[in-house]
Amino acid sequence: MFCPVIELAQNLIRCPSLSPNDAGCQALLMARLEAIGFHIEPMNFGDTQNFWATRGQGKTLAFAGHTDVVPVGDERKWINSPFEPTIRDGLLFGRGAADMKGSLAAMVVAAERFVEQHPHHSGRLAFLITSDEEASGINGTVKVVEQLMARQERVEYCLVGEPSSTERVGDVVKNGRRGSITANLTIHGVQGHVAYPHLADNPVHRALPALQELAATEWDQGNDFFPPTSMQIANVQAGTGSNNVIPGELFVQFNFRFSTELTDQRIRERVAQLLDRHQLRYTLEWNLSGQPFLTEKGELVDAVVDAIQHYNEIKPELLTNGGTSDGRFIARMGTQVVELGPVNATIHKINECVSAADLQTLSRMYQRIMQLLLT
């Protein structure tokens, strides 16, 4: 049976849009939105294509998402070519099917149905679409948000279509995300011959007790919305490759996923205090990739919960776990931000897939959220 959501999702999957290449996806979306009366504004920056599309005036409900996908991995391991969408046993296969071309199709078709029913809806319906969420993201949503803020645009509600669900569409929605900050730490020593350790200063030996303490530290206990902050050492490098040389430096990279109980400033201070206590000579560089955000109960959360219960008769869990998303940039505008999308079990994997029925349900949920907030 013909389904406009699946058809559009398939057309999007056929565009090999490896970040930050859009490969024609946005042209498809813009044409569909323009046809139902949206004002379209491309906002391209550097290598990244973005657009902002609006229809109506006033209180704004924006749908946000990305057209880019992650690399396919070993293409021979896919049962079908990753950019040739296929349906088997009710599952739509292809790179981006779940993350997040299926959601984009569900949003656009929801807007088409909503506008047909409510050509004179109240408020403003908007789309914020980028072609770089999966790679650096520096010219994507963050730049569009800066532009919108510079001209004092207000966005009250934003629904991000990232795949939030675990087993059934709508069983989990994300109403916040943890912050993420990375430390690049170099411990300095003095290189020398292993046979003459008194003439050298081994940075690995010096660093081990500090790293042990770093790994054992409880940073916070989380709160009602966030799990406890977690620190993970991701990379460690030292040594010349030779068994008779004491290395001169040790490099350690570690990342924090942090709750709203902490700030990035507090993390920086605590790490510096710890290293100083161990009397290390070090260089420490920080890279903050996202502040935590939280959307507490309010009109948007209520509308999302209502739409999920209406179509799936389940009460969604509101969670803040998982990776960061572009929701963190949009939340800077004072916007209520919620992520609702399909099941994420296969995202970024070989043979990525999504339930075709779930995508159709998701589209109905999006349409109901539009109805609840804009009529």
Binding site for Zn ion (CB under 5 A): 99-100, 162
For the CB of residue 238, give the shortest distance to Zn ion in the complex, in Å. 35
Report the helix count and the strand count for the chain, using DSSP H and E: 9, 19
Q: Among residues 99 and 249, whose Cβ is nearest to Zn ion?
A: 99
Nearer to Zn ion, 96 or 192 (CB): 96
Instruction: Answer yes or no: 339 catalytic.
Output: no
**For residues 163 and 222, which CB has a smaller minimum distance to Zn ion in the complex?**
163
Cis? peptide before 197, omega within 30° of 0? no
Minimum CB distance to Zn ion, residue 82 (Å): 16
Q: Which of 22, 99, 132, 133 is catalytic?
A: 133
* Nearest residue (beta carbon) to Zn ion: 99
| Minimum CB distance to Zn ion smaller for 239 or for 323 | 323
Going from the C-alpha of 298 to that of each of 37, 146, 194, 214, 295, the distances in angstroms are: 29, 25, 64, 38, 8
Is 68 in the active site?
yes
Q: Supply the minimum distance, in Å, between the C-beta of residue 322 and Zn ion.
A: 11
Kind of pairing between the strands at 353-355 and 91-93:
antiparallel
CB 343 within 8 A of CB 78: no
**Omega before 333 within 30 of 0, i.e. cis:** no
**Marked catalytic residue, from 22, 68, 326, 358:** 68
Instruction: Provide the minimum distance between the beta carbon of 2 and Zn ion in the complex, in angstroms, as a whole number.
Output: 27
Nearest to 307 by CA among 358, 225, 371: 371
- Give me the least distance between CB of 324 and Zn ion, in Å please: 11
Pairing of strands 60-66, 124-130: parallel
Left (φ > 0), alpha (ψ -120 to 50) or beta: where does 184 sit? beta
Cβ atoms within 10 Å, residue 355: 21
Q: Is the Cβ of residue 19 or residue 259 nearer to Zn ion in the bound state?
A: 19
- The residues annotated with a catalytic role in the active site are 68, 133
